[in-house]
Structure 1
Amino acid sequence: MAEDAAQHILPPSTPVRAFEGGEESVLAVAVFLDGQRMVTSGRTLRLWNLKDGVVTKTMEGHRDWVWGVAISRDGKLIASGDENGELIFWQGDSGERLTQAIKAHTTWISSVNFSPDGKVVATSSSDWTTKLWSSETRQLEGDLIDCGAPVHCVRFSPSGELLAIAAGKGIQIWKPGTRECIANLNAVPAISPNLSLAWIPDGTRLLSAGSYDDPTIREWDSSTWKQVGEPWNGHASDIRDIVVNSSGTLVASVSRDKSVRLWSLSDRRTIASFKLKHSDEVFSATFSIDGKHILGGGYDKKVSEWAVPKDALRGGAAQDSDSKACLHP
């Protein structure tokens, strides 16, 4: 697979645009469904106007680095979680803080994710737990989920009926309403943690991103919970983040090898690779709403924008909104 991908991959390209204005590394990037705005995180959050690249609001309240950021589908709420285990809810339009910092976990919040209907927010942590919060009351909803290992990522399925949790070296599938674990997915051999997860829009597949000695993407069938095909090879180090476009045709992945790769889902091959101008590390990425660009946040304190090759757009590509970054205790 790696050799086949190498024959087709386009030469690495540099960004077509960069959003500047921050003084911190950009750890997470999320785009609103209106296509007009995005939110990024470092130690603070920033609300951006995408058209002119201007920061419209600096959102202060966290006391530590923020790795988990999510936007509700209606754009009315933003939720963010930091290394200190604190969760904050924000007003989506203005960026105003709606809550004080909530001590959601005893340590690092690795990811934050809204349910499709926006009523529930899931948080995951290196304290071995996943918790569900009411987006209306901002209170803990029901019992916590004891995952038995540090949790790197949590993602609701497109229907909201399932919750995928990357914990330790495996993936757990839960029914959030009943707190029932219905499946445990493990690569063979299970040699390293999965740092990120992404569902295909129709919910028939789940993608997982590996690390350490297994920096591959694996595809799982949600009807059998069996692995589909061989692992996707191409990255040389930890895959920090993966995202799927809303038409389910393209996958973007971010790795500690300092590259962003664009994959075709149908044949699991790399179409293109992207790098920062100075080969700095990229932490997270997302598609623009029209699917024509990839936005990535990195160590260079900027949000870089790369053009998706026109040939890759023939199948159509808009963006799966809800957002971003999983990781990495």
Structure 2
Amino acid sequence: MKKTPLAILGTVVGLMAVVTSTTYAKESRLGLMVAAIPEIASSQAQSWRTPQLVRTIEAHSTAVDALSFSPSGRVLLSGGSRSDAHLKLWWLKTGREIDSLRVHQTSVADLAFSADGKILASVGEDGGVNLWRWNQKDYTGDYTRTFLGHRSNLLSLAITSDSKVLVTGGLDGIRVWDLRNQRPLYTLANFDHPTYSLALHPKAETLVSGLKNGTIKIWNLNTGQPLYVIRAHQGITSALAFTPNGRTLVSSGYDGKIKVWDTRTWQLKYTLAKHTGKIRAIAINPVNGTILASASRDGVRLWNLNTGQQIAWLTGHQDWVQSVAFSRDGRFLATGGFDRTINIWQANTTEVAFTQ
């Protein structure tokens, strides 16, 4: 049998244990290693005031619900919605499709690579959590496992900076998984905590979750204990993202607002409110940490987080924009829409030569 780049190998069912401890432990119960955060040189910052549309890809037969760049940035992954629940791989250089595999029964809700680039994870509205071993040399992945502990739609995932722990969130709450040993760890929240978005602080000690009622909950991931609750949005908190240095959290909501928070005090710094509809997704440039992309029915807006000013408005889609992702080197932005296409944008700097 021909081996596809995403060859299926096996499935397991994860049984979860509920956290009941209320005692803080100095040693991490998850064995997390805190990763150092490199200083970002100012020379690395790239201008996104006049980004160039490099390519449009006719990607799926339905909306493009999820996007993620491979660690090298040479391959883009996309997840389709509802009936087109396929994971597709694309060469960034040419826009050519590398592979397509149906990985969920319905919508691929979120995708992410581990920081070390060895693991790719996806979650779907079918409640499944899929894992692949990613080969960074030939840009292929071996499907290793599906966790089936959730009982309802999954909507978001996050991976710790040491690549050891996966957190998944959905309508039935939040669960925590051991990536190294490929097993469930514990249930952080249940059906009383319908979770639409997740983000992990770069130091991997703090988890934030966005709820259906518009609040943001801050957790100590090592102890499994909640720390604070922020009343953030009117309606669903749709997306969350930390800046690379961890000092700022950005949230978006179905109220059309973006809110920027100081993570040292969890106080609101300012609100961005130019979108005319629900904000579906946000992404922060991982290199300079100052450029924010936000997606809604009126297109993609780019913001300078240092000033709170809008710097660009991208209107290349014909319908709602559902997903956004920056490449790890910060040079490219991918946007996916209800119009079934993916647009690839490039920062307007020196000419970028694609290599493969």
TM over 0.5: yes
**CA shift for structure 1 position 153:** 0.5
**Residue 98 (structure 1) aligns with:** 144
204, 220, 244: which one pairs with 1:201?
244
**Residue 280 (structure 2) aligns with:** 240
1:145–1:179 contact (8 Å) kept in structure 2: no
**Residue 4 (structure 2) aligns with:** none
**CA shift for structure 1 position 122:** 0.6
The answer to which structure has the higher strand fraction is 2
Cα deviation per residue 1:173-204 (whole Å; 9 max; x = unaligned)?
101110111111113xx522210001011111
1:274–1:306 contact (8 Å) kept in structure 2: no
Partner amino acid for 2:304? S
**How is 1:108-147 mapped onto 2 (pairs within 5 angstroms)?**
108-127=153-172, 129-146=173-190
**Residue 322 (structure 2) aligns with:** 283
2:199 aligned with 1:155: yes
**Residue 324 (structure 1) aligns with:** none
**Residue 78 (structure 1) aligns with:** 120
Q: Distance in 1 between matches of 2:59 and 2:268?
A: 42
**Residue 354 (structure 2) aligns with:** none
Unaligned runs of 5+ in 2: 1-47, 351-356
203, 216, 226: which one pairs with 2:267?
226
Unaligned runs of 5+ in 1: 1-8, 314-329
**CA shift for structure 1 position 21:** 4.8
Q: Secondary structure at the match of 2:183?
A: coil
**Residue 25 (structure 1) aligns with:** 63
Cα deviation per residue 1:77-115 (whole Å; 9 max; x = unaligned)?
11111111111112222233112x432311110101111
Partner amino acid for 1:220? W
Change (3 A) 1:21 1:240: closer
1:132–1:144 contact (8 Å) kept in structure 2: yes
Q: Distance in 2 between matches of 1:306 and 1:96?
A: 29
**CA shift for structure 1 position 162:** 0.4
Partner amino acid for 1:115? T
Change (3 A) 1:160 1:20: same
Change (3 A) 1:258 1:104: farther
TM-score (ref. length: structure 2): 0.77
Partner amino acid for 2:293? A
**Residue 67 (structure 1) aligns with:** 109
Change (3 A) 1:69 1:104: farther
Q: Distance in 2 between matches of 1:282 and 1:275?
A: 9
1:120–1:133 contact (8 Å) kept in structure 2: yes
Q: Distance in 2 between matches of 1:249 and 1:162?
A: 21
Q: Distance in 2 between matches of 1:85 and 1:36?
A: 29
1:15–1:275 contact (8 Å) kept in structure 2: no
Q: Distance in 2 between matches of 1:289 and 1:120?
A: 20
Partner amino acid for 1:50? L
2:71–2:113 contact (8 Å) kept in structure 1: no
Q: CA RMSD in A?
A: 2.1
1:59–1:97 contact (8 Å) kept in structure 2: no
Q: Secondary structure at the match of 1:122?
A: strand
Q: Distance in 1 between matches of 2:141 and 2:105?
A: 17
- How many matched pairs? 293
Q: Distance in 2 between matches of 1:239 and 1:21?
A: 22
TM-score (ref. length: structure 1): 0.83
Q: Distance in 2 between matches of 1:147 and 1:171?
A: 16
2:76–2:90 contact (8 Å) kept in structure 1: yes
126, 129, 148: which one pairs with 1:87?
129
1:47–1:95 contact (8 Å) kept in structure 2: no
2:52–2:346 contact (8 Å) kept in structure 1: no
**Residue 57 (structure 1) aligns with:** 99
**CA shift for structure 1 position 53:** 1.9
2:171–2:191 contact (8 Å) kept in structure 1: no
Partner amino acid for 2:243? I
Which contiguous aligned blocks of 4+ residues in structure 1 show a shift greater than 6 angstroms? none
**Residue 47 (structure 1) aligns with:** 89
Q: Distance in 2 between matches of 1:242 and 1:21?
A: 20
